[in-house]
Structure 1
Amino acid sequence: MGTVTPYATSAGRRWRVRYRTPEHRQTDKRGFKTKRDAELYLANVEVAKAVGSFVDPQAARITVGELAPSWLANKRQAMKPSSFHSIETAWRVYVEPRWATAAVGAIRPSAVAQWVRELGQGTAVSNPRAAWTADASRPRSATVVLRALGVLAGILDVALKDGRIAKNVARGADGSPRKHSNKARRYLSHEEVIRFAEAADTDMQATLLMVLAYCGLRWAEATGLRVRDVSMRRRRLEINHTATEVDGNVVEGVPKSWERRSVPFPDFLSEPLARLCAGKGPDALVFADRYGGFLRRPSASNNKRSWFLTALAEAELERLTPHDLRHTAASLAVSSGANVKAVQRMLGHKSAAMTLDTYADLFDDDLDEVAMRLNEGGHQKSVGKVWARRAESGGR
């Protein structure tokens, strides 16, 4: 147990509480005006020590900026370069300017809620060195706000685990925005995919568009394909590598465990894929630039120029992105009769539930089929008897 002792000050008698932390380090807190206040504080300390919720005031003085480097280093080791780049940018542009000098024990829920609101309104303090990101006064999207909030929450998780704070005030912060999109997902038909591929400048570009639209590969997966990853006998593409553009540089990596997969390709792609692989070594890229290096993602933005946008215009198709072709692959697979597990494996989703959540609209016809099957056979006749009996009994 600790002790409560008085001491004299120019303003009168005050009370000091001496106690030991769970690490057996002696410390004290001074300035209590009454003995009762001091005793209540000591009682709360002893209860917190007993239930494991004690927070050392000294430990809570560490700042977010002091904890951030270690947290970022762990994230760098655990995440793919493209994912870490987004996290590091959120820290540098949004979190560091506001919270780097804040003591973890002094951060209040209301302050976090205000920061989240300011980010959404475009009035939050941001790093002036990151003016390239956008106009500082522009409101940030829900994705950007939630990513920045997630970085702060992740750093405070470290403080929580170390016993520096009793609660992570960034988790479940008031005013956190919800992601939503009013943009309708674009699915191409077989005829539109063919028209798009025919409008491409080169055979390689045409084949790449067809692979994206019929196999559902991500751009980084398609451009990371090596010759050894293409099995002509089995008509399979082995997804073992990715080529992701990060901050202007293409970084080769590996997919997540559930994204490693064997993706079938239709027979009509066998010949064009074979031509792209002909004369190349097993480690050569299937889709490469003129120097044999990684193919850069073409721009799909308005007021930009790229072979992708040129082909879209010549095919008289609405603007879409390379990733939209992945949605087309899902649509074409479902319309051909593939079930949700097959679509999940083709796309490399972690679970069938994720596939259903993403493409629920594609499975609407399945609901109609369920109703039709329930109405078939003896079920229709048996249920009909219920209404006949009720009619005979006067509807009771």
Structure 2
Amino acid sequence: MAGNIAKRADGKWRARYRDEAGNERARHFDRKIDAQRWLDNVTASVVAGTYADPKAGKVTFAAFFGEWSARQVWAPGTVLAMSLAARSVPFGSKPMKLVRRSDVEAWIKSMDAAGLAPGTIKTRYVNVRSVFRAALKDRIIGSDPTEGVRLPRGRRAEAAMSIPAPEEVGQLLDVADDRFRTFVALCAFAGLRLGEAAAVQVGDINFLRKSLTVHRQVQRVNGGSVDIRSPKYGSERVIYLADSLVDLLAQHVAALGGNGSQQWLFVGEGDDPPHQNTVGYWWRKTLRDASLSGIKLHDLRHFYASGLIAAGCDVVTVQRSLGHSKATTTLNTYAHLWPTAEDRTRKAAESIIAASLGRPDDAAQSDADSASVLRSRYPERASSRAT
């Protein structure tokens, strides 16, 4: 970047330079030292890669988001989430270069004061942060005002997560009607998300290999219509099914009749698979019939994950079974369920005692029974949820 300073006839000092596009930028100062300082700062920002076009930064947050979001390849759910986050900021009409960290902090504080959950606040913050990061890469702004902003603390995973007891899952299966029992089983014993379970077709089940392929999901759009699309990024997977679940699926498919491999396993309105509203109705009815409350359908996915962990499955196995794109996601969600060093130490010590006294290793036998492990971890679940 070439720059120079010259004294004008009116006594002002003019500092100027040409940016990467060849456009001349200039400012006038009363003192030469101030002109030199400004030129040095511009030069330093170019060297550091933080230079931003002064004129480009005049675009408002709302205007930049509108132009930037139109270029993005997003799923319908992402479009809604990003638009909601962008509309929630109080600095939408403010030029991008004038948005300060204090503005972002005030926005976070207002959401917290309005009673929004920490998870909701974090989601909106991350979405808005992506807008500023895009502006930073486009040299619209020289720094990101969202960087390092502190968010309200969320609940610890072990406190926020609700895992049904095995007896509760059994109650739900007992009272669920024929069309929904298999749906509940796929969530509880295969870890499928609601949209994934709703999008299962007969051809996705390999009865010979006892496996299920997940490569689509159902999303609700435009207030009620069904949209079939690929599952969440990294969630395409093959799930290996227990024999009992294979038998239940075989009975379900037999009851459907032979309409081909592309037949939906579950049907909502018309020939479409069910969407969230329909499944929600089925779920609430099943909860009432089971005299249970406080359990979400997604809690069955946690139930499945906790069962895998209790049975001794490692992080990668659980990650692949759940369709997490990264092992860190699995650890961030379920790390508190894996045995700790203290657990392993006690088990090893129990083995030593058992060998010394010539009796069976009770700890090892107990760990082999996953259902018992789950009941011992969550003894209060069944009694607290019964209505």
The two structures have a TM-score, normalised by structure 2, of: 0.79
Task: Find the counterpart in structure 2 of residue 187 from structure 1.
Answer: 163
Tell whether 2:92 aligns with 1:100. Answer: yes
Which among 35, 52, 67 is matched to residue 64 of structure 2? 67
Task: Find the counterpart in structure 2 of residue 44 from structure 1.
Answer: 41
State the structure with bigger RCO (CA 8 A, min sep 6), 1 or 2.
Answer: 2
1:4–1:38 Cα contact (<8 Å) kept: no
Residues 136-180 of structure 1 deviation map (CA, whole Å, 9 limit, x = unaligned): xxx32223322332233222222212223221111222x422332
1:22–1:49 Cα contact (<8 Å) kept: no
Tell whether 2:318 aligns with 1:343. Answer: yes
Tell whether 2:272 aligns with 1:280. Answer: no
Aligned identity (percent) is 26
1:7–1:16 Cα contact (<8 Å) kept: no
Q: 2: distance between equivalents of 1:262 and 1:237? A: 6
Task: Find the counterpart in structure 1 of residue 147 from structure 2.
Answer: 171
Residues 189-230 of structure 1 deviation map (CA, whole Å, 9 limit, x = unaligned): 443322211212x21111111121111111111001111101
Task: Find the counterpart in structure 2 of residue 229 from structure 1.
Answer: 204
Shift of 1:370: 4.2
Residues 332-363 of structure 1 deviation map (CA, whole Å, 9 limit, x = unaligned): 33344444433222211234443233223432
Task: Find the counterpart in structure 2 of residue 295 from structure 1.
Answer: 274
Q: 2: distance between equivalents of 1:149 and 1:313? A: 37
Residues 248-278 of structure 1 deviation map (CA, whole Å, 9 limit, x = unaligned): 3332111245311111222223343224333
- Seen in structure 2, the aligned counterparts of structure 1 residues 167 and 272 have a Cα distance that, compared at 3 Å, is same
Amino acid at match of 1:119: M
Task: Find the counterpart in structure 2 of residue 210 from structure 1.
Answer: 185
Shift of 1:376: 5.3
2:191–2:302 Cα contact (<8 Å) kept: yes
- Seen in structure 2, the aligned counterparts of structure 1 residues 115 and 239 have a Cα distance that, compared at 3 Å, is same
- Seen in structure 2, the aligned counterparts of structure 1 residues 67 and 207 have a Cα distance that, compared at 3 Å, is same
Residues 20-62 of structure 1 deviation map (CA, whole Å, 9 limit, x = unaligned): 22332223212x2223322332343344445544333222222
Task: Find the counterpart in structure 2 of residue 25 from structure 1.
Answer: 23
> Which structure 2 residues correspond to residues 1-396 of structure 1 after superposition, within 5 A?
1-8=3-10, 13-30=11-28, 32-75=29-72, 77=73, 79-92=74-87, 94-95=88-89, 98-122=90-114, 139-173=115-149, 175-180=150-155, 184-200=160-176, 202-246=177-221, 248=223, 249-256=225-232, 258-277=234-253, 278-289=257-268, 291-297=270-276, 306-364=281-339, 367-373=342-348
Amino acid at match of 1:292: D
2:65–2:131 Cα contact (<8 Å) kept: yes
- Seen in structure 2, the aligned counterparts of structure 1 residues 374 and 118 have a Cα distance that, compared at 3 Å, is same
Q: 1: distance between equivalents of 2:41 and 2:315? A: 55
Shift of 1:247: 5.1
**Larger Cα-atom Rg:** 1
Q: 1: distance between equivalents of 2:349 and 2:26? A: 74
Report how many aligned residue pairs link the two structures. Answer: 348
1:56–1:164 Cα contact (<8 Å) kept: yes
The two structures have a TM-score, normalised by structure 1, of: 0.78
Q: 2: distance between equivalents of 1:48 and 1:337? A: 53
Amino acid at match of 2:35: A
1:16–1:38 Cα contact (<8 Å) kept: yes
Amino acid at match of 2:192: L
Structure 2: gaps spanning 5 or more residues:
357-387
Structure 1: gaps spanning 5 or more residues:
123-138, 382-396
Q: 1: distance between equivalents of 2:83 and 2:228? A: 19
- Seen in structure 2, the aligned counterparts of structure 1 residues 164 and 269 have a Cα distance that, compared at 3 Å, is closer
Amino acid at match of 2:237: R
Q: 2: distance between equivalents of 1:43 and 1:366? A: 55
Q: 1: distance between equivalents of 2:18 and 2:269? A: 70
Shift of 1:377: 5.8
Shift of 1:315: 1.8
Q: 2: distance between equivalents of 1:363 and 1:83? A: 32
1:334–1:363 Cα contact (<8 Å) kept: yes
Is the deviation greater in 225-234 or in 109-118? 109-118
Shift of 1:365: 7.1
- Seen in structure 2, the aligned counterparts of structure 1 residues 367 and 74 have a Cα distance that, compared at 3 Å, is farther
Q: 2: distance between equivalents of 1:342 and 1:218? A: 17
